[in-house]
Structure formats: structure tokens, C-alpha cells
Amino acid sequence: MAQPSTPDGQHNMQQDKQQGKQQHKEEDRQHDEEEDEQHGDPGAVPQSGPVDGSGVDSGAKTPFKPGDGPHGDPGDRPRDKRRVFGGAIGAAVGIGVALIGIPVCIAAVGFGASGIAAGSIAAKMMSATAIANAGAVPAGSLVATLQSVGAAGFATSTKFYLASALGSVGHIIGKRLSGRKKPKKK
């Protein structure tokens, strides 16, 4: 396809592109309207009773609100508060695991500030790594990395990334767990 060399040719290409986009948007809008006519608007719920105060139901629809209509009842609102609170607790737990739990676990395995503790799991890991690598523990290996963290702790950027990731995961899990309805007692 030959490229136009005149400004008019470029302008015509831009106009064609814009017209194509507008036509596509119009087709999408028409398709959405047809679906709404066939299936009803899922984003709206019919009003019960008169809408305009005249005593006659005009059939108007109002926008869907969480907790209204077939998707829930107004009694679900306390559950939403539980989900927010559960998400906050989950995020706090995730951040706590990142900043406190992981370093404590690394120290418990035997990687400490004074080196690897004798007879610990860390000592066994170091021994296995040294045997596998002709008597040396390679830099960047799991044992070397854990010893570095055990001796000096995480870098600030690593703490930030771990807290962000585990806080987000904790938030999602806490929100989902707290959003469950309690089983009814028999």
C-alpha cells in the first residue's frame, strides 16, 4: 500500500480512522441497546410503586445499588462492613508476616547474626550445599542468601516489596473469609 505524500492524503487517512472508530462505537451502542431490549438492563432494577409521584408506575428503572434488588437485600450491609474490616485485618497480618514472621522463621532455622548455628537445619543445608559444590557454598545460593538475611536482615526495598505483596494477599484473603455468611445453627 502506497503511503500518501501530501498533507491532504495524511489528513484523509486520519479522518477515515476517526470515522471508523465512531462507526465502531455506534455499532457497539446499538448492540448494547438490542441486548437490553431482549434481556432487560442488568444494571437497573424496576422501581416498585409510583416513580413520579402521580400514583402511576411509569415503568422507569433506577440504577442498581449494591444490596438492592435480586442481587442482595439491605440486610447485607453489615456483611460489607465485615468484609472491609476483614480485609484490613488480613492486610495487617500479611504485613506482619513480611516484616516479622519471615525473619523470625529464618532465625529459627539457624541463620543468625553470628553465623549458622551448629546442629541446626541451616547447618545441614550448608553441609549439603557444600558437598554438592565441591566443598564451597556458592554466592547467590539459597544458603548464602538466607545467611545474609539472617545476619543483616532484609534491605529496605525488600521489606517494602514483601510488605506490599503479602499485605495485598492478606487483604484479599481476609476480605473473602470475612464476607462468608455464617452457617445457620440447627
Kindly list the averaged pLDDT for each block of 10 residues, start to end, along the chain of length 186: 53 72 75 63 49 51 53 56 85 91 92 92 94 90 91 90 92 84 68
Nearest to 145 by CA among 173, 122, 172: 122
Question: Domain-by-domain residue ranges, the chain?
Answer: 79-178
The C-alpha atoms of residue 133 and residue 9 are separated, in whole angstroms, by: 68
Listed in sequence order, the DSSP H helices in the chain are: 7-39, 77-96, 102-109, 121-132, 142-152, 156-178
How far lies 57's CA from each of 36, 54, 63, 68, 167, in Å?
Answer: 20, 8, 16, 19, 49
> How much is the pLDDT for 170?
92
Q: Which amino acid, 16?
A: D
> How much is the pLDDT for 22?
78
> CB burial class (10 A; 0-12, 13-18, 19+) of residue 115?
middle
> How much is the pLDDT for 108?
93
Cell numbers placing 77: 450491609
pTM of the complete model = 0.50
